[in-house]
Amino acid sequence: MIKMVVTDIDGTIYTPDTGITNKVKDCINKLAQDGIKVVIATGRGYSSARKVAEKLGIKCPFICYQGGLVNSYEGEILDVKYLNPDIANKIITDCKKRNIHLNVYVEDKLYVEDDDDYIKDYIGDKGIDYFKVNSFNELDFSKLNKMLAINYDTKKIDNLTDYLKEKYPEIYTVKSTDYFCEIANKEATKGNGIKFLANKYGFTTNEVMAIGDQNNDIEMVETAGIGVAMGNGTDIIKSKANYITDTVQNDGFVKAVEKFVWSKFDV
């Protein structure tokens, strides 16, 4: 029996075009009413994830920054894994050499050196505040949540991701979209976030359903008893999932819940 449902946000329950549909909102609220623990797992920070929960009308815990930060709804830090400052400074140099925009997240605040179209496009309608600094050297990296490299040249992001994986195997590097390369603590994965929360609430991972669409969702799809890939997901996550549901545009999240939770599917 599924006791906890863990969902990604972007490309899973939300798109910029349609937002979050009423079907998804109703589904998530019914899960909560039925006593199913709902968890939002995202590359976003706590403040942004909480705004999504508010739109959904639920109070839930969050796995943020791919698993680098686990928060209660109220903002209590339940678990945290920071990125090594020395490696972070080297990656800043690597990105500058490649002319790749970089977002830096320190204590759940977003900082940039370049107030350019990349950050404006990234913010979009997320309602996230960001702060411009003259240099990342001004920041205290002792509590560095993650870094996000952004470029619309997909080859640049592919090459950067491959380079960082090879040069810094001691960190977690993954593409979260064609244009995003996420950089975090090695243990900062959504899968580890699921393990932490399942243990906290007294569930086994076999009692968890996790659903996502991108490569940064692979660990949680593999960790959960039922791992679901969205129909609009990457080929890799589809190959790792137990089940492929419909697309985000067709409320694939709802269809997966109907199949594995409300049908009383026995895991």
Q: Is the pLDDT of residue 260 over 90?
A: yes
pLDDT grade, residue 124 (50/70/90)? confident
User: pLDDT tens digits, residue range 178-206?
Assistant: 999 999 999 999 999 999 999 999 999 99
In terms of residue numbers, what domain contains 208?
A: 4-80+188-260
The domain boundary, picked from 185, 212, 242, lies at 185
Question: How far is residue 31's CA from residue 83's CA, in Å, rounded to a whole number?
Answer: 34
pLDDT grade, residue 264 (50/70/90)? low
Q: What is the mean pLDDT of residues 14-37?
A: 95
What total number of domains does the chain contain?
2
Are 180 and 218 part of one and the same domain? no
On whether residue 158 sits in a domain, the answer given is yes
Phi-psi region of 35 (alpha: psi -120 to 50; beta: other; left: phi over 0): left
pLDDT grade, residue 127 (50/70/90)? confident
Question: How far is residue 220's CA from residue 194's CA, in Å, rounded to a whole number?
Answer: 7
How far apart are the two ends of the chain, measured CA to CA in Å? 6
Are 133 and 146 part of one and the same domain? yes
On whether residue 170 sits in a domain, the answer given is yes
Are 74 and 91 part of one and the same domain? no
Beta carbons within 8 Å of 104's beta carbon, 6+ residues apart:
88, 92, 110, 111, 112, 136, 139, 144, 147
Q: What is the mean pLDDT of residues 21-46?
A: 96
On whether residue 152 sits in a domain, the answer given is yes
On whether residue 266 sits in a domain, the answer given is no
Question: How far is residue 229's CA from residue 76's CA, in Å, rounded to a whole number?
Answer: 30
The predicted structure's pLDDT at residue 190? 98
User: pLDDT tens digits, residue range 64-75?
Assistant: 999 999 999 999
Are 197 and 181 part of one and the same domain? no
pLDDT grade, residue 228 (50/70/90)? very high
On whether residue 140 sits in a domain, the answer given is yes
Kindly state the DSSP code that residue 129 receives in the 8-state scheme.
-
Residue 126 or 179, more confident: 179
The domain boundary, picked from 185, 212, 241, lies at 185
Are 233 and 178 part of one and the same domain? no
Are 14 and 93 part of one and the same domain? no
Q: Kind and range of the H or E element at 237?
A: helix 235-240
Burial, 130: exposed, middle or buried (Cβ in 10 Å; 0-12, 13-18, 19+)? middle
Are 41 and 96 part of one and the same domain? no
Q: Is the pLDDT of residue 121 over 80?
A: yes
Are 27 and 158 part of one and the same domain? no
The predicted structure's pLDDT at residue 128? 85
- The CATH number linked to 244 is 3.40.50.1000
User: Largest Cα–Cα distance in the chain?
Assistant: 55
Kindly state the DSSP code that residue 152 receives in the 8-state scheme.
S
Residue 30 or 264, more confident: 30
The predicted structure's pLDDT at residue 263? 78
The predicted structure's pLDDT at residue 267? 47
Q: Is the pLDDT of residue 58 over 50?
A: yes
Q: Is the pLDDT of residue 245 over 60?
A: yes
The domain boundary, picked from 141, 160, 185, lies at 185
On whether residue 50 sits in a domain, the answer given is yes
- The CATH number linked to 102 is 3.30.1240.10
pTM check: above 0.85:
yes
pLDDT grade, residue 59 (50/70/90)? very high
Are 75 and 206 part of one and the same domain? yes
Percentage above 70 pLDDT, the chain = 99
Q: Is the pLDDT of residue 21 over 50?
A: yes
Are 18 and 66 part of one and the same domain? yes
Task: Tell me whether strands 101-106 and 77-80 are parallel, antiparallel or unpaired.
Answer: unpaired
Beta-carbon neighbour count of residue 169 at 10 Å?
A: 10
On whether residue 267 sits in a domain, the answer given is no
Are 92 and 213 part of one and the same domain? no
| Average pLDDT score over the chain | 95
Q: Is the pLDDT of residue 266 over 60?
A: no
Percentage above 90 pLDDT, the chain = 94
Are 221 and 254 part of one and the same domain? yes
The predicted structure's pLDDT at residue 265? 52
Q: Is the pLDDT of residue 137 over 50?
A: yes
On whether residue 214 sits in a domain, the answer given is yes
